[in-house]
Structure 1
């Protein structure tokens, strides 16, 4: 198992669930998030687990935020074996109303930040016996959405970025993967539900009827996959997008 992990965007949802799994497995975990109070709360809630937990306030959408997150993690735990990027922005707006600022904000956090985080972490991961990079994509990379233009484009770019990073970092023994969740039931999806008129009126039932396993997932469904992807057992898995969607894309 890795011993030191940076989770960028770990104050809630999949990031928080991943922090819980990795701490339970004995890893030292640093949570970097713009929500400083939420990150600290996640760390405090895991005090009973083995390993240690730290948190810092970082705006990952800025040009220097990702490097600061890496510096904070290394400063807290002395080394870095894996990074997990979980931060994201979902803007749901009809085509005629989608603004340049919404596009740029989405790309800054969803696509530029994971690149900069990986770039800053690369020397530390190369020094690890099993360096790992796990980026959080989405099934939106493979299907269309009527209002999530920048989000889908950023996640498609992230899948392509994963492949390029895997090629570049492979000689240093670093595995790079992208986990692509489908419908995970968290407040992150609220912009979608607002755009389609809310969760009432059969909208949720209509969505879940398209999922072969019969419903939306929970954050731990994705965190369990991330736990494997940062483990030594994934040593020959790199450059891949791992879909966790209850079979939605297959249908």
Structure 2
């Protein structure tokens, strides 16, 4: 049975991915700084096959990612896939952007995915079907007027995906990066606040999306489910965009 660590699974795309994978029979460990939220996600999925566990983890610290891996291994005895969904979005005008916000963003959005993959690598090599799925963003490919550190971190994550894929490919471990566009979750609230509110900005936003609407967390979770499956055995080093056609327009 597949054992998956979801880092940042207490809400949004991470929670939707946990639901998908549990329904498919996987064992899932949800690691999140929101321990109560992670526990609620796991309890809500108890009717599914497989086992679910949750643990508190501050992934932005130097030792947090390795602790998440250790907890997942202790809970389920093996680790076949890591899905990294945790993230931080700071939206501030250029003159007001602070170094502390830059550093906090990089620690969680870019350093933590590297450290968690590094810590998980031995178990993933032993799996025979090792997978790493990092969560990027279309911000890696287009600018945003207030998301400087976020966009830079996601651009770096796409480059990191390629390097990790090269490093782990000889061991049969596939590394990919799923890049969502506008997915309707509270994660986007800092953007709505910066531009004057969701109600005034939503129509203009969705008019730029060929499919005409924001996506749902499950739209991305379905892609992640494929990326951690054996069916993705020849897909690695790629950024998979899930954006309703935004980048194509």
Q: TM-score range by the shorter chain?
A: over 0.9
User: What is the distance in 2 between the residues matched to 1:85 and 1:199?
Assistant: 27
Looking at structure 2, the residues matched to 243 and 200 of structure 1 have their Cα atoms a distance apart, in angstroms, of: 26
Matched residue, 2:213: 215
- Alignment of 1:155 onto 2:154: yes
Distance apart, 1:154 and its partner CA = 0.1
Q: CA deviation at 1:200?
A: 2.2
Provide the C-alpha distance between the structure 1 equivalents of 2:202 and 2:134, rounded to a whole number of angstroms. Answer: 27
Is it true that 1:83 corresponds to 2:82 in the alignment?
yes
Matches within 5 A, 1:1-251: 3-201=2-200, 203-251=201-249
**Cα deviations across residues 86-126 of structure 1 (Å, max 9, x unaligned)?**
00000000000000000000000000000000000000000
Partners in 2 of 1:218 and 1:69 — Cα distance? 27
Runs of 4+ residues over 6 Å off in structure 1: none
Mapped to 1, the partners of 2:182 and 2:199 lie a distance apart of 17
Shift of 1:246: 0.2
Q: For 1:134 and 1:141, how far apart are their aligned partners in 2?
A: 16
Shift of 1:131: 0.2
Q: Compute the RMSD of aligned alpha carbons.
A: 0.5
- Deviations for 1:105-157, whole angstroms, at most 9, x for unmatched residues? 00000000000000000000000110000000000000000000000000000
Normalising by structure 2, report the TM-score. Answer: 1.00
Instruction: State the alpha-carbon separation in 2 of the partners of residues 9 and 42 from structure 1.
Output: 11
Tell me, which stretches of 5 or more residues in structure 2 are unaligned? none
SS in 1 for 2:16: helix
CA distance in 2 between partners of 1:142 and 1:53 (Å) = 35
Tell me how far apart the structure 2 counterparts of residues 197 and 27 of structure 1 sit (CA, whole Å). 42
Unpaired stretches in structure 1, ≥5 consecutive residues: none
